[in-house]
Amino acid sequence: MKIEFDKIISPYSYPFSAAEVKQVLAECVPPDILATLSKVHFGCKQRTTQEARIVGRGSSFEIRINFCPKDGKTNLLSDKREWREIVELCGGRADSKARTVMWTLLAAKKYAAFLIAHEVGHVAYAHRNGFGGINGRKSSPSEESWCDAFARTFLQRL
């Protein structure tokens, strides 16, 4: 499995090293699913609201994470209660007025781990429900809730 990071310059930073990503994966990904994970890619696009996605590649999959705080801050992506609860669960502090989220390094690590676990949850959900895979399948609101619960359970073990 490959771990990739887009090149960034200060004041942007990724919360994890490649070794730390591998440790998170070892802790949150069931072995049968880990065997099908081909790549985790961290990017730093500032003009998107999609922080994570999963991409099917035949019988394998990739996880793409777009999360790189700038001086410990990211844009506030949503005012929805569900999203803010996850941010706060991880230790982020949302500021609606400034439209930012403040992250300590530990909080950013927890949030990035949550994003990874949520995406792994999509594969677990597909296996659990007898779907042939994740290729081209749009997730339902109930699947998103299930993946959030999967990721929350993982965070409790951190």
CB 63: neighbour CB atoms within 10 A?
A: 27
Quick one: tokens of 134? Answer: 């994740």
- Answer yes or no: are the C-beta atoms of 150 and 23 closer than 8 Å: no
Of the candidates 69, 73, 53, the one whose C-alpha atom is nearest the C-alpha of residue 61 is 53
Closest C-alpha among 20, 58, 71 to residue 42: 20
Pairing mode, strands 37-43 and 2-5: parallel
Q: 154: which residues sit within 8 A by CB, 6+ positions away?
A: 27, 28, 113, 114, 117
The residues spanned by each domain of the chain are: 2-157
Strands 93-95 and 60-66, sheet pairing: unpaired
The distance of Cα 90 from the centroid of its chain, to the nearest Å, equals: 12
pTM of the model: 0.93
pLDDT in tens, the chain (158 residues): 999 999 999 999 999 999 999 999 998 888 988 999 999 999 999 888 889 999 988 888 999 999 999 999 999 999 899 999 999 999 999 999 999 999 999 999 999 999 999 999 998 898 888 776 666 667 889 999 999 999 999 888 87
